[in-house]
Structure 1
Amino acid sequence: MRISLLIICFISLLSFSVNAQPKTDNHAYNYVEVPYKFSFFEENNQFQLNILARVLLQEKGFEVYMDVEDLPLEVLKSPCQLLKFELNEIDSFMRKRLQFNLIDCYGQVVYTSEVGESRKKKFKDSYTEALKNSFLGFTKLDLKQLSSESTPSNSSQTETLSDEITDITKKLNYKHKDQVYWLIEDGKNYKLVTSTDQSVFATLDKADRGTYIFTAKSFLGAAFFKPNGDLIVEYRDNNQTNSSTKSIEFKKI
């Protein structure tokens, strides 16, 4: 069910409270994607090396996804938080030598590891030891930092309706509680506008599986349209003790 999918997606989101402020963490790279098959192997996850890479990165403080998994909405919204993990085998006689790169959203290498080596005879043992050794001494402090322009933020400024948006006469009317909103197309996306003062309450950016990233001034959520046109928004309320998932329904009128 779509609602169940949204809830699963939000379990993967970074903590985001209703009164959240921009993050002050110095490490802008929070996510890493690991391929399920390395280029120098013939099989997926050969010698369980890909899963081991995931575990080693998690131990360094990253949230890690395999390239066969769906990425969380936070990454879809700010893709430059994600690094790609690339593992290379270095030719050598009588030993295994591995070295990894972390690559940013522009295709630039932001970190190259030391060469990890192993002289063990069994392939699985030697590859495992070489990979572990390539991680020795590596920390998130070694990474080049993203510029402040690339980091996610939650602006407190009120946005007003732009004249560049598609003809306002094509708006759809929605109601939540006693407030009427206009849903206006903005290219492939939408803006949800408060009818009383024509201020932008939220933006809806197209994601996947018929869902939208719902960005309001006070919270971040995921949204989808019901068959009758009603708009459903799911978000995590981290002000609650159990960090519960909440739902808002905008009724089409």
Structure 2
Amino acid sequence: MKKTLLVSILFLSVSISAVAQKTINNYKYVIIPLKFDFLSEKDQYRLNTLTRHLFKQKGFIALFDKEEFPEELIDDRCKALFADVEKEKSGLFSTRVNITLKDCLGKDVYKTETGSSREKDFKKAYNEALKSAFSSIEFLDYKYKPAEAKVEKGDDEMKELAVNVDKVKTETQTEDIKVSTKNGETALKDETLYAQEKEYGYQVVDATPKVVMQLMKTTATNVYIVKDQNAIVYKEDGFWYYSENNGELKEPKTLDIKF
């Protein structure tokens, strides 16, 4: 009963604090590949260099994918957009390209209108078409602003909610939650985790609620890749396990996850 009440309160707190949908204004970094797929060489026609230059002019911190990243970007690549230039099917006398910006999960954040050029020289044609496509981004009036959580309830309601969460957490901490380990023995588990569904899979939080890990979908049933870890989370015989392999396969750990 107490655990059920705690879960209800936690999900209520999540529902009243919604993260705003991200736009390009929520990113200050753009990562550009040194080679675009439709070309045969790195920085062919200086197209990659031009792409970086255009984003820098717009106010982004633009980086090539092979150069050294700032520390905050090394810690969290999701702070950056990933730019790609794609060639579209062109007419006999035209070159057509567009620019796509994706997030760290490969989801499209923005795609430009198609830019085109009727220049015969390839370098001139691609550079002109790229600048034409980039004009779509020019109109967006980019200004970096970190994404923040929006709180829709008043301060008094939030304070009351926090008191209720603390009260139930204190009561729940006095209970031992028993789970079965893989070898059949019984062990004590002092923390229950909660899985929140996302487009990429699940975000796993503790009772704080603090994000513990992110589980990425796979094609296998009840098997997830742990983001930024050499590990998977999987279900077997009715129980969830965390299995890590950093060059040496470790004994799976039992997890108490509520989906």
The interval holding the TM-score normalised by the smaller chain is 0.3 to 0.5
Instruction: Return the TM-score normalized by structure 1.
Output: 0.46
The TM-score, its normalising length taken from structure 2, stands at: 0.45
> Which of the two has higher C-alpha Rg?
2
Q: Select the structure that is richer in helix.
A: 2
